[in-house]
Amino acid sequence: MDSFRRGPYTFDVIDRGPADGEAIVLLHGFPQDAQSFDGMLPALHAAGYRTLAPLQRGYSPGARPTERSAYKGGELADDIIALLDGAGLKSAHIVGHDWGGGVAWGLAYRRPERVRSLVSISTPHPQALVKAAPKGQIFRSWYMFAFQLPWAPEAFIGLGARRGELAKNLEKQGVPAEAAARYQERMLDPLTRRGSINWYRGLPLSLKEPVGRITVPTTYIWSNGDTFLGRAAAELTARYVSADYRFAEIDGGHFLPDDQPDLMAELVLERVRSAAPVRA
C-alpha cells in the first residue's frame, strides 16, 4: 500500500519488506518524515519483518487539518488504527521517535489489543515528562511554549529553512547531510510548517486526555546526550509500564533513527522478537 484513508484525509505511507512478515509500524517525529527510518530498514527486512512508515497528520499533503483540536493525542492514535485497518492487520509492533513516540505511548494505552510491542525512541512516557517538569525538564521544553504562538513559529522555522540554518543545526545533532537537507526542504512548504507546528499547539488539549499505565511489552531508548529530553523523565518512565520493560540508555543525541540506525534496528528487533507472533 502507498496510502490509507481516515475520514476525509489521505495519508502517504511507505510499505516495504516481506509482504507476509510481521508488521512493524514506524512513526516519525519533528521535523522529520517517514524516511527517517530508512537506515533501519535493511536489518528489519532481512529479519523477515514488513515495515509501514506513514507520513503523519500535518505532514501528508492529503491530511492537513488546520484546527489545533485535530492534533490531540486521541486523533493521532486513531490515524494509526486506520493504518492498521487499511493494511488488514489486527495488531502490529509500534516504534515511534520524538512526536511519533508520543503517538506510540498513546496508542499502546488506548488500544493495547492492537499493539504487540512498543518501542519509544527518545520520548519518555507522557506522564513521566509531566512529573519531570520541576526537575529541569521544563527548561529543556521551553520551545513547546513558544510554539503555542500564532504564526511566529512558522515564520521562525521558515526563515531558518530559507537560510539553510535548519539543515546545519540538524547536522550538528547527528542527522546525515542528505536527510537534513530533505527535512529542510519540507519545511520550506508553508502548509507543512503549519501542520507540523500544530502538533505542539494540540499538546495542551492532549494533556486533558492523559496517557495511563502501559500493559504491552515495552522498550524505551534514551540518549544521555539528548538536549531536549532529560534523565529525570527517562528514569521515571518505568513507573508507567506494567508489562515487560527494558530501558536502554545509550550515548548520542536526539535524532537516533538518523544518527544510529543500526543500533536502533538491533534494539527494535530485540523487542519484537520477544513478543508472540503476529497474525494479520
Q: What is the CA radius of gyration of the chain?
A: 17
- The reply to whether 93 belongs to the active site is no
151: alpha, beta or left? (left if phi > 0; alpha if psi -120 to 50): left
Q: Which among 49, 200, 220, 240 is annotated as catalytic?
A: 200
Cell (9 digits) for 271: 523487542
Q: Which among 109, 254, 258, 259 is annotated as catalytic?
A: 254
> Which of these, 220, 10, 214, 22, lies nearest to 111 by C-alpha position?
214
- The reply to whether 9 belongs to the active site is no
Q: Which among 98, 226, 258, 259 is annotated as catalytic?
A: 98
Cell (9 digits) for 5: 484513508
- The reply to whether 143 belongs to the active site is no
CA–CA gap between residue 112 and residue 105 (Å, rounded): 10
**Cα torsion at 230, 234, 236, 242 (round to 10°)?**
160
Contact (CB, 8 A) for 102 and 123: yes
CB atoms < 10 A from the CB of 210, how many?
12
> Which of these, 121, 77, 81, 125, lies nearest to 242 by C-alpha position?
125
Contact (CB, 8 A) for 52 and 13: yes
Active-site residues, by number, are: 98, 200, 254
